[in-house]
Amino acid sequence: MSLDAAIDALLAAGIEIDRKPASVKSKSRDFFWYSPVLKARLDHVTADFVATPKDEGEVIEVLRICHAHDVPVTTRGAGTGNYGQAMPLAGGCVLHLAKMTAIREIAPGRVVCEPGILLKDLDAACIAQSGQELRMFSSTWATATIGGFIAGGSGGVGSIRWGNLRDVGNILRLRVVTMEAEPRVLEITGDDLHRVSHAYGTNGIITEVEMPLAPAYDWVGVFMAFDDWDAALRYGYELGACDGLLLKLITVFEPPIASDYFQRMAPHVGKGDALVALMVAPHALPGWETFSKAHPGRVIYRSDTTVWDRDPGHVFEYTWNHTTLRALKVDPSITYLQIAYGTDDPIARVAAVREALSPEVLQHVEVTRQGGRVALGGLTLVKFTTEERLDEIVAIHERLGAMNFNPHRYTLEEGGRQAVDARQLDFKREADPKGLLNPGKMIAWDDPDWSYDQMYSWPGLKPKAAAE
Ligand SMILES: Cc1cc2nc3c(=O)[nH]c(=O)nc-3n(C[C@H](O)[C@H](O)[C@H](O)COP(=O)(O)OP(=O)(O)OC[C@H]3O[C@@H](n4cnc5c(N)ncnc54)[C@H](O)[C@@H]3O)c2cc1C
């Protein structure tokens, strides 16, 4: 790696470069610290410099020059990912796409834009110009980019209606630049989208995205309290199955999550209250009220009618991984797991896990759609003690049929189901033959025979001393 030569060439090409250690370090970190396991291993990680291209042409230049000088490139949208995805394990260049925010086209049912635009800005423009909105977004809607969501996210607000981000139809087209001696620009559609969606930028840089849109609504945020956890979970699950009611969010929280961790809500809930958070389309409100009459929950907040002393803000900023953020602010020993309870009798599976692990593990359940059926998934809160105990808790979930997508790992495979995505590996061979894109995040690239009997530790991870 000839860093200085690369930087000289980038500066000569007119690329914006940052070499100030403090700002380079801050642009080398994401929300990995949610995990005590990743924090212990990645806290020292920093790039050598940051390149901020203003358009696709400059992205091509950065990849060409870094390829020529064997400088690893790790892409950054807004750095809100949770598994160190945007962290440069081997140093080198962070490619920060914050300036690529143009919207190219808004048309019926779709939008074309650059990857660095924030989800909220993209939504605002689509709503203002066409009365349409994004089908789904991560609860980091206010801070994350569309490119980062596609390359690092998995679903979120809207998944109750549209399923997971990588489900067919939820991403329409991606324009991707390869890292070769002569970088190529590829238009990717159809099944090939799986090559780069949720690939952490390990095999190509997204420079343009085409996403589907849905009619925009002035969604009504709702909080409901239930004396009984089982009743709350059943309510969320059955509401999710109401095909005639349009909702964008259904989330269920085991007590005492709401009273202990949601500070603006504490005056309005009891310690024993389970909480349900919803986003209901205005025209669906009467139907929702009819449905809710048959259930024991009480509405404690509606964004269209209720005024609290302290406004709670967006209901969705209590859900998905915002729940963990709010809990961490109160209790730094909290961490989380990502659990799939599936579609076959998921309520029984949640009950079995709760029976075995509550209150060391508290249920935060997201109700989504999977293959046309209602699914339950957890961003479960865990009181962290030791890594060994965390692994035991994971093993208990697996024994009870609750699938763990481990957020305490920085590789694609371990964050998934311990298996390589062959489409992503094959594409990396083609698009990044030197393996310079976000190195250390794809085990199969470095160690195809890895056994997964322990946590993988990438040998190229820059040691602490070298980083300081
Ligand atoms: C409080 C909180 C709540 C969250 N809620 C959700 C949620 O509801 N759903 C969800 O899925 N995630 C969630 N996340 C994780 C994260 O916020 C989202 O995945 C977000 O959309 C990532 O966007 P970003 O711009 O911050 O991406 P970054 O963190 O910057 O990048 C994510 C990954 O994508 C790669 N990347 C970024 N841009 C590109 C590009 N143009 N081309 C190629 N690769 C690229 C990066 O290298 C990295 O591997 C949450 C995180 C926090 C802290």
Q: Which tokens go with 66?
A: 């870094």
**318 close to ligand 1 (CB < 6 Angstrom):** no
Q: Which atom of ligand 1 is nearest to the CA of 157?
A: 8
Residue 21 is inside which H or E element, if any?
helix 21-26
Q: Which atom of ligand 1 is nearest to the CA of 322?
A: 1
Domain carrying residue 379: 220-383
pLDDT score for 466 = 59
Same domain, 229 and 343: yes
**325 close to ligand 1 (CB < 6 Angstrom):** yes
Same domain, 33 and 69: yes
Tell me which amino acid residue 397 is: H
The answer to whether residue 405 is domain-embedded is no
The answer to whether residue 159 is domain-embedded is yes
The answer to whether residue 411 is domain-embedded is no
Same domain, 256 and 354: yes
Upper half-sphere CA count for residue 408 (Cβ side, 13 Å):
21
Same domain, 178 and 274: no
Question: Which residue out of 29, 58, 75 has the highest number of ligand 1 atoms within 8 Å of its CB and is therefore the one to mutate?
Answer: 75
Cβ atoms 136, 167 nearer than 8 A: no
Question: Which residue out of 29, 321, 379 has the highest number of ligand 1 atoms within 8 Å of its CB and is therefore the one to mutate?
Answer: 321
Same domain, 245 and 159: no
Q: What is the CATH number of the domain that holds 111?
A: 3.30.465.10
pLDDT score for 73 = 98
Q: What is the pLDDT along the chain (468 residues), one digit of tens a residue?
A: 899 999 999 999 999 999 999 999 999 999 999 999 999 999 999 999 999 999 999 999 999 999 999 999 999 999 999 999 999 999 999 999 999 999 999 999 999 999 999 999 999 999 999 999 999 999 999 999 999 999 999 999 999 999 999 999 999 999 999 999 999 999 999 999 999 999 999 999 999 999 999 999 999 999 999 999 999 999 999 999 999 999 999 999 999 999 999 999 999 999 999 999 999 999 999 999 999 999 999 999 999 999 999 999 999 999 999 999 999 999 999 999 999 999 999 999 999 999 999 999 999 999 999 999 999 999 999 999 999 999 999 999 999 999 999 999 999 999 999 898 999 999 999 999 999 999 999 999 999 999 999 999 999 998 876 555
DSSP label at 342? E
Q: Which atom of ligand 1 is nearest to the CA of 31?
A: 53
Same domain, 233 and 339: yes
Q: How many domains does the chain have?
A: 3
Q: Long-range pairs for 374-377 at CB < 8 Å and ≥24 separation?
A: 374/237, 374/240, 374/241, 374/343, 375/340, 375/341, 375/342, 375/343, 375/346, 376/237, 376/341, 376/342, 376/346, 376/347, 376/349, 376/350, 377/338, 377/339, 377/340, 377/341
The answer to whether residue 445 is domain-embedded is yes
Take atom 45 of ligand 1 and give the residue whose Cα is closest.
Answer: 201
Output the CA 299–ligand 1 centroid distance in Å.
32
Output the CA 30–ligand 1 centroid distance in Å.
9
**183 close to ligand 1 (CB < 6 Angstrom):** no
Tell me which amino acid residue 421 is: D
Q: In whole angstroms, give the CA distance from residue 156 to residue 151.
A: 14
